[in-house]
Structure 1
Amino acid sequence: MPHRRTVTLAAAALLGAVLLSAAPTATAAERTPICRAPNNPALAKQLTRDLRAALAKRSGTVSLALYDDRTRASCVLGEGIRYDSASIVKVLIMEATLRRAEAWGRPLTGWERRNIRPMIHSSDNMAASRLWNDVGQPSLAATLNRAGTTRTSLGPYGYWGLTRTTAADQLRLLGALTNPHSFLKSRSYALKLMGEVRKDQRWGVTAGMPRGLRAHLKNGWLPRATHGWRIHSIGVFTGSGRTYRLAVLSHDNPSMSYGVRTVERVAQAVHRGLNKGRAIARGFTPADEISGRSDGSVPPRAPELPDPYDLVGPDGDAAAFPVVP
Structure 2
Amino acid sequence: MTHRITLRARALTAVAAAGMLVPVVAGAAPASAATAPQVSCTSGKAGLAAKLQRDITAALATRSGTVAVGLRDRTTNTTCTLRATTAYDSASVVKVTVLATLLWDAKKTNRLLTSRETTLATAMITKSDNAATTSLWNQLGVTKVKGFLTAAGMTRTVPGSGGYWGLTRINVTDEQRLLSLITARNTVLSDNARAYILKLMGNVVTSQRWGTPAGAPSVVSKHVKNGWLQRATRGWRVHSVGTFQGAGHDYTITVLTDGNSTMNYGVSTIQAVSKVIHRDLVPAASATSAYKPTTTPSEAFISVPQG
Partner in structure 1 of residue 38 of structure 2: 32
SS of the equivalent of 2:157 reads coil
Structure 1 runs not aligned, ≥5 long: 1-25, 305-325
Partner in structure 2 of residue 210 of structure 1: 217
SS of the equivalent of 2:50 reads helix
Which residue identity is paired with 1:275? V
The one of 179, 183, 194 aligned to 2:201: 194
- Number of residue pairs matched by the alignment: 273
Residue 60 of structure 1 deviates from its aligned partner by 0.5
Residue 143 of structure 1 deviates from its aligned partner by 1.0
Partner in structure 2 of residue 298 of structure 1: 302
The one of 171, 174, 179 aligned to 1:174: 179
Q: Which has the higher contact order (CA 8 A, sep 6+)?
A: 1
Query: 1:134-179 CA deviation, whole Å, 9 max, x = no partner?
Result: 0111111111112211211000111000000101111111111012
Which one has the bigger strand percentage? 2
Q: Is the 8 A contact 2:232 2:306 kept in 1?
A: no
Summarize the alignment of residues 197-276 of structure 1 with structure 2, pairs less than 5 Å apart.
197-276=204-283
Residue 30 of structure 1 deviates from its aligned partner by 4.2
Q: In the aligned structure 2, how far is the partner of 1:246 from the partner of 1:190?
A: 16
Partner in structure 1 of residue 98 of structure 2: 93
Partner in structure 2 of residue 119 of structure 1: 124
Report the CA distance shift for 1:253/1:294 in structure 2 as closer, same or farther (over 3 A).
farther
Report the CA distance shift for 1:36/1:65 in structure 2 as closer, same or farther (over 3 A).
same
Residue 303 of structure 1 deviates from its aligned partner by 3.7
Q: Is the 8 A contact 1:257 1:290 kept in 2?
A: no
Which residue identity is paired with 1:251? D
Normalising by structure 2, report the TM-score.
Answer: 0.85
Normalising by structure 1, report the TM-score.
Answer: 0.80
Partner in structure 2 of residue 3 of structure 1: none
Q: In the aligned structure 1, how far is the partner of 2:267 from the partner of 2:54?
A: 21
What do you get for the CA RMSD once the two structures are aligned? Answer: 1.8
Q: Is the 8 A contact 2:74 2:250 kept in 1?
A: yes
Structure 2 runs not aligned, ≥5 long: 1-31
* Same amino acid, percent of matched pairs: 41
Q: Is the 8 A contact 2:71 2:252 kept in 1?
A: yes
Q: In the aligned structure 1, how far is the partner of 2:298 from the partner of 2:200?
A: 22
Partner in structure 2 of residue 160 of structure 1: 165
Q: Is the 8 A contact 2:126 2:204 kept in 1?
A: yes
Partner in structure 1 of residue 79 of structure 2: 74
Summarize the alignment of residues 136-155 of structure 1 with structure 2, pairs less than 5 Å apart.
136-155=141-160
Partner in structure 1 of residue 10 of structure 2: none
Which residue identity is paired with 2:117? E
